[in-house]
């Protein structure tokens, strides 16, 4: 019987090639989109699960408010790791990372440096914590001694044969000599250590041995014993404030108590987060690597579901619409003895065949489009051909999609009453008009919702790009690694400034776009030990040309001036710092603060200027308090260029670099590119919305196109009569189109408030955001109407221009 059902299903699909194509292609698009998004989501959910006992590993982080500044840190104090291991029996192991950033490495005896971007100090328990093995070297001793390091395979191969790597000497930043004690395999892309290539022994890092609970610089990971409950250590961790932190603070704020600390509106809360949750649930200060957010996963999940549901709705819609053509077939089969179960089985087999064909086509589409999707999502996802579980899921999806999309048409058509359908007396009631209309509304409501979402995302991105940032990011070149020039850094800067296409240049390690960050607690000269007067500020070391090169606007006081020797102990602050102090910018001039509270020899810095607030953090965050002070320590140099030929500027600056630092890599980037990279996730989300909104509209239009064709065919005789009675082509086209446009109008009415609510929730994550204007909804509605008119008009006009003689012959 199954074989017979299969033959009939195949013949039925072959008899209706247009209908079969619309269903198969529409479903294939939905499945392909859903498959690509599912692979992306699976990759995102797999982060850091490759490590041994990953579910037992947690990171300790700190939520702190002090000196008018509240921040959530991914780091904790140096003594945290040893303390939790000593205090908690639940903790089996603890270790720390102290990220450094980039370093210049060269083999001993050579002159040319190679730059490694991901370097960090780690405790010797690093390997045991994550269950790692070395390709070369001994994990028990590899990082026990100071001045030792372990390289990833790729980093090691840049310098020597990895079989001979252990025991070799590398010079770091043209200064320190380190011995290679191991080589480890490269970390996968779905690991938080994916960008790290150099792991140095913490035993050689002096700061790691200082018991200072007031400084948070270390990523601290703990591994629990299998029987432990992580909730049991949360309350004791919160108790570290009174047990360890306050006693440490009392050395520079005598007599302070935990109660006084909290009464002043301050807080410090230590807590933990599972390592496997960090990638999607953590966006804290000093993350060891870039993270995604769970919101984007929810959004993509909804898009994937929408695509699949839209494709299934297409199938249901077209199948019920074509029920009139098959009504007599159902009536005859029932008359000849077929029961409802057999008919349902027949129609489900047909939908299963369409589902199978769609799945095969979708796999082909996914294979073809995967490179483009990887480029769009900044991923390296591969289809897991060798994973049996993957194929089982696809097979299950074929069955489920076939049942889901074919169930309503199957049960609907199996209910036809033979006498009525054979007489043709109920033809007007066939096809499930109300349900079909509801499904059209559903399809276009989703499409309009996605159009609104796309417009809002792009509007927010445009706002970010066009907003006054408070500094000049255009035509600013950042030259990295100027510290390697040593005493020649200043002369390099002066030589560059002489170039005709250079406006100005400045040496610093701190820039408004992603770069180094350093913050300190400043205490006023008056009220030195009063915690309520303390001010937490970013502390950036700069040179005399920094303010002018960056294009900051001074709203009070002056900038740094070489004619004032006292400027070595002067600072410039931003508006936010003045606001926290609670005075006007003019009143701030002359105030003295020290970042050295508790030290034997404190240096007081005088505020000489106030700059207008500028954005140095993503727009999701408020502008923090900030101070600038003069410093001769600089990692990079910013060069403000004249507009024109940047290639000549680059070659000129590189030529000077090569003269000053032969053998050193010339590494640079443009500030504008770095700014754009900050919002890459939002830009990626915008592109994904744009593409999948287009796919959803395409699927909806395929369904509408098929329905319009069916509607025109069903009303062939009516069209002929109207033409004979004098109706014009435009009048007939209008009559055929207006019902569909009403449904689109209802869809717009339903989707507008949903789109407004959802996108307002998304914008809440931004401290600086747009207000959603009425024009967004007008454009979304206009696009939906225009697209539906174009889709329906073809079939309407095609039917309207047919010779009425042919139309009236159809009966």
pLDDT tens, position by position, 385-397:
888 888 998 888 8
Q: Give the model confidence (pLDDT) of 40-56 as tens digits.
A: 999 999 999 999 999 99
The upper half-sphere exposure of residue 375, i.e. CA atoms within 13 Å in the direction of its Cβ, equals 5
What percent of the chain clears pLDDT 90, i.e. is strictly above it? 40
| DSSP letter (8 states) at residue 76 | B
**CA-CA distance, 388 to 234, in Å (whole number)?**
41
pLDDT band with cut points at 50, 70 and 90 for residue 315: confident
Q: How many CB atoms lie within 10 A of CB 799?
A: 23
Residue ranges in 524-640 assigned as alpha helix (H): 546-550, 575-581, 585-588
Q: What is the mean pLDDT of residues 519-544?
A: 83
pLDDT band with cut points at 50, 70 and 90 for residue 429: very low
Q: Which residue has the tokens 């139309």?
A: 807
- For 665-782, where are the E strands, in sequence order? 668-670
Q: What is the mean pLDDT of residues 414-430?
A: 55
Q: Give the model confidence (pLDDT) of 547-573 as tens digits.
A: 999 999 999 999 999 999 899 999 999
Q: Model-level pTM?
A: 0.83
Q: Is residue 377 pLDDT above 90, yes or no?
A: no
Burial of 351 (0-12, 13-18, 19+ CB in 10 A): buried
Between residues 516 and 570, the one the model is more confident about: 570
What is the dihedral sign for C-alpha 734, 738, 740, 744? positive
Range picked from 15-19, 289-293, 794-798 for highest mean pLDDT:
289-293
Between residues 393 and 12, the one the model is more confident about: 393
**CA-CA distance, 58 to 56, in Å (whole number)?**
7
What does residue 240 show for φ and ψ, rounded to 5 degrees? -65, -25
Q: Is residue 332 pLDDT above 50, yes or no?
A: yes
Between residues 517 and 127, the one the model is more confident about: 127
Q: What is the pLDDT of residue 428?
A: 47
Between residues 696 and 777, the one the model is more confident about: 777
Determine the 3-state secondary structure of 60 from DSSP: strand
- 609 in Cβ contact with 559 (< 8 Å): yes
pLDDT band with cut points at 50, 70 and 90 for residue 21: confident
Q: What is the mean pLDDT of residues 202-224?
A: 91
Q: Is residue 425 pLDDT above 70, yes or no?
A: no
Distances from the Cα of 785 to the Cα of 115, 556, 743, angstroms: 55, 55, 10
Q: What is the pLDDT of residue 620?
A: 79
pLDDT band with cut points at 50, 70 and 90 for residue 152: very high
Q: Is residue 485 pLDDT above 80, yes or no?
A: yes
Q: What is the mean pLDDT of residues 494-507?
A: 92
Q: Is residue 107 pLDDT above 80, yes or no?
A: yes
- 11 in Cβ contact with 18 (< 8 Å): no
**CA-CA distance, 487 to 505, in Å (whole number)?**
17
Q: Which residue has the tokens 């859903």?
A: 34
**CA-CA distance, 350 to 24, in Å (whole number)?**
11
Q: Is residue 105 pLDDT above 80, yes or no?
A: yes
- 347 in Cβ contact with 406 (< 8 Å): yes
What does residue 131 show for φ and ψ, rounded to 5 degrees? 65, 45
| DSSP letter (8 states) at residue 602 | -
Q: How far is CA 490 from the centre of its chain?
A: 39
Reported as type and span, the H/E element at residue 183 is strand 176-184
Determine the 3-state secondary structure of 728 from DSSP: coil
- 64 in Cβ contact with 70 (< 8 Å): yes
**CA-CA distance, 490 to 756, in Å (whole number)?**
54
Q: What is the pLDDT of residue 261?
A: 82
Q: How far is CA 382 from the centre of its chain?
A: 20
Give helix then strand counts, H and E, for the chain.
27, 22
Contacts of 722 (CB under 8 A, 6+ apart): 731, 732, 735
Q: What is the pLDDT of residue 431?
A: 46
| DSSP letter (8 states) at residue 770 | -
Q: What is the pLDDT of residue 574?
A: 95
Q: Is residue 704 pLDDT above 90, yes or no?
A: no
What does residue 223 show for φ and ψ, rounded to 5 degrees? -115, 125
Q: What is the mean pLDDT of residues 583-592?
A: 93
Reported as type and span, the H/E element at residue 84 is helix 80-87
pLDDT band with cut points at 50, 70 and 90 for residue 330: low
Between residues 673 and 94, the one the model is more confident about: 94
Q: Is residue 370 pLDDT above 50, yes or no?
A: yes
Average pLDDT across the chain, whole number: 85
Closest by CA to 379, choosing from 41, 129, 766, 9, is 41
Closest by CA to 544, choosing from 631, 658, 659, 604, is 631
């Amino acid at each position: 019987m199954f074989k017979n059902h299969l033959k009939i299903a195949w013949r039925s699909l072959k008899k209706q090639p247009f209908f079969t194509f619309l269903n198969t292609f529409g479903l294939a698009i939905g499945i392909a989109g859903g498959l690509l998004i599912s692979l992306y989501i699976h990759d995102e959910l797999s982060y850091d699960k490759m490590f041994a006992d990953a579910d037992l590993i947690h990171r300790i982080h700190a939520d702190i408010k002090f000196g008018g500044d509240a921040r959530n840190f991914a780091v904790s104090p140096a003594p945290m790791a040893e303390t939790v291991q000593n205090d908690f029996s639940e903790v089996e192991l603890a270790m720390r990372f102290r990220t450094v950033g980039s370093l210049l490495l060269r083999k001993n005896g050579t002159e040319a440096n190679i730059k490694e971007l991901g370097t960090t100090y780690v405790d010797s328990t690093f390997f045991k914590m994550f269950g790692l093995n070395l390709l070369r070297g001994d994990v028990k001793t590899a990082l026990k001694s100071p001045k030792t390091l372990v390289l990833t395979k790729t980093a090691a191969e840049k310098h020597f044969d990895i079989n001979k790597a252990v025991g070799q000497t590398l010079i770091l930043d043209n200064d320190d000599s380190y011995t290679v004690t191991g080589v480890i395999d490269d970390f996968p892309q779905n690991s938080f250590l994916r960008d790290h290539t150099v792991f140095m022994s913490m035993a050689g890092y002096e700061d790691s041995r200082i018991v200072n609970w007031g400084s948070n610089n270390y990523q601290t990971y703990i591994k629990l014993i299998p029987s432990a409950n992580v909730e049991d250590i949360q309350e004791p961790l919160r108790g570290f404030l009174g047990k360890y932190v306050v006693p440490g603070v009392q050395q520079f704020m005598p007599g302070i108590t935990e109660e006084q600390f909290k009464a002043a509106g301050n807080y410090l809360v230590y807590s933990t987060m599972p390592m496997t949750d960090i990638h999607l649930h953590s966006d804290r200060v000093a993350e060891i690597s870039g993270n995604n957010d769970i919101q984007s996963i929810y959004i993509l999940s909804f898009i994937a579901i929408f695509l699949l549901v839209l494709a299934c709705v297409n199938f249901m819609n077209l199948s019920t619409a074509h029920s009139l053509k098959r009504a007599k077939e159902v009536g005859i089969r029932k008359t000849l003895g077929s029961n409802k179960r057999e008919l349902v089985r027949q129609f489900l087999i047909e939908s299963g065949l369409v589902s199978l064909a769609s799945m095969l086509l979708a796999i082909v589409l996914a294979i073809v489009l995967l490179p483009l999707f990887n480029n769009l999502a900044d991923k390296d996802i591969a289809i897991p051909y060798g994973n049996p579980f993957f194929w089982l899921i696809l097979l299950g999806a074929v069955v489920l999609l076939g049942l889901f999309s074919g169930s309503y048409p199957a049960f609907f058509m199996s209910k036809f009453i033979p006498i009525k359908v054979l007489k043709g007396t109920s033809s007007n009631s066939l096809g499930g008009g109300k349900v079909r209309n509801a499904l059209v509304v559903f399809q276009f409501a989703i499409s309009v919702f996605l159009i609104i979402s796309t417009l809002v995302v792009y509007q927010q991105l445009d706002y970010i790009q066009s907003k006054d940032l408070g500094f000049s990011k255009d035509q600013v070149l950042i030259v990295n690694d100027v510290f390697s020039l040593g005493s020649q850094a200043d002369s390099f800067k002066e030589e560059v400034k002489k170039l005709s296409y250079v406006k100005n240049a400045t040496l610093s390690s701190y820039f408004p776009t992603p770069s180094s960050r350093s913050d300190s607690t400043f205490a006023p000269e008056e009220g030195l030990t009063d915690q309520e007067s303390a001010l937490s500020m970013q502390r950036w070391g700069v040179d005399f040309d920094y303010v002018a090169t960056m294009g900051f606007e001074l709203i009070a006081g002056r900038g740094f001036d070489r004619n004032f020797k006292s400027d070595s102990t002067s600072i410039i602050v931003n508006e936010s710092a003045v606001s926290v102090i609670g005075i006007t910018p003019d009143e701030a001039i002359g105030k003295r603060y020290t970042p050295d509270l508790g030290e034997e020899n404190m240096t007081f810095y005088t505020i000489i200027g106030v700059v207008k607030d500028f954005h140095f953090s993503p727009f999701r965050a408020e502008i923090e308090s900030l101070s600038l002070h003069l410093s001769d320590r600089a990692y990079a140099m910013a060069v403000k260029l004249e507009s024109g030929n940047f290639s000549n500027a680059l070659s000129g600056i590189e030529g000077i670099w090569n003269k000053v630092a032969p053998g050193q890599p010339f590494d640079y980037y443009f500030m504008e590119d770095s700014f754009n990279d900050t919002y890459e996730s939002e830009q990626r989300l915008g592109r994904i919305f744009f593409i999948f909104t287009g796919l959803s509209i395409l699927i909806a239009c395929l369904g509408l196109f098929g329905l319009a064709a069916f509607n025109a065919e069903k009303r062939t005789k009516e069209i002929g009569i109207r033409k004979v009675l004098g109706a014009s082509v435009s009048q007939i086209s209008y009559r055929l189109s207006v019902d569909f446009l009403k449904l689109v109008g209802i869809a717009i009415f339903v989707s507008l408030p949903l789109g407004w609510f959802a996108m307002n929730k998304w914008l809440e994550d931004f401290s600086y955001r747009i207000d959603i204007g009425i024009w967004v909804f007008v454009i979304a509605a206009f696009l939906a109407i225009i697209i539906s008119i174009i889709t329906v008009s073809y079939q309407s006009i095609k039917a309207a221009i047919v010779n009425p003689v042919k139309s009236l012959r159809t009966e």
